[in-house]
Amino acid sequence: MTEPMPIPAARAAAGLRRGVVACLAVAAGTALLGLAAGFLWAVVAPRPLLVMTGHGAAAVINAETGAFIAGDGWYCFICLAGGLLSGLFGYLAAVRGYGPVAMIMVLVSALAAALITLWIGEHVGLASYHHLLATLPAGARLHAALALGARGAIAFWPLGAGLMAGGMELAAMLRDRQVGAPGTALAPE
């Protein structure tokens, strides 16, 4: 016969299970948000106009187009917004109750979401682009495939998530320190 676990050990095991479930929920939610962000980036980001120069070859019509920078800018904006949302969700679901390990999960999930966004955005419509590139005659025009030029922009999602979750944790810590400080009285009810 096995002996029943002492109550503190049972509580610790239950708390650990809840923490793992909360971290997994944060990871899954952030990954889904990254998936949606990738499709959004593919829809809203401008693409430069190309002209076919020969079979399977194309050149940018206007080399000074702002479409390359605008596509990167949209990626940055979408990732920053996604990071703020996932940081808020991560703080409320996990960091507030489970501490630093949950914060690490928020940041790792944010990096994964940025990479998912990049992969989805660059691959949506890629097959039709390659088909057009292979079949259009010289002189025909088409839009280039979406590509992220500034790979450092991947850091925007973890940056937003870290700022949101870390900022909320800092605000909660300062509030708790102020309420518990000697010489401060709570407002009368």
pLDDT tens per residue across span 99-111: 888 999 999 999 9
The answer as to whether 13 is a domain residue is: no
Q: How many residues does the chain have?
A: 189
Residue written as token pair 């996990």? 94
pLDDT at 176: 87
SS (H, E, C) 81-145: HHHHHHHHHHHHHHHHHHCHHHHHHHHHHHHHHHHHHHHHHHHCCHHHHHHHHHHCCCCCEEECC
pLDDT at 39: 97
The answer as to whether 90 is a domain residue is: yes
Structure tokens at 143: 């839009």
The structural domain count of the chain equals: 1
pLDDT at 7: 64
d(CA 113, CA 97): 23
The answer as to whether 44 is a domain residue is: yes
4 phi and psi, to 5 degrees? -65, 145
Nearest of 166, 31, 21 to residue 95 by alpha carbon? 166
The answer as to whether 165 is a domain residue is: yes
pLDDT at 188: 54
Structure tokens at 127: 């097959």
For the chain, residues with pLDDT lower than 50 are none
Residue 117: give the domain boundaries: 29-179
Structure tokens at 45: 């980001």
pLDDT at 99: 85
Q: Are 145 and 129 in contact (CB under 8 A)?
A: yes
pLDDT at 148: 93
Residue written as token pair 């991560």? 90
Residue 28's alpha-carbon distances to 34, 108, 113, 141, in angstroms, are: 10, 12, 10, 40
The answer as to whether 94 is a domain residue is: yes
The answer as to whether 144 is a domain residue is: yes
pLDDT at 18: 86
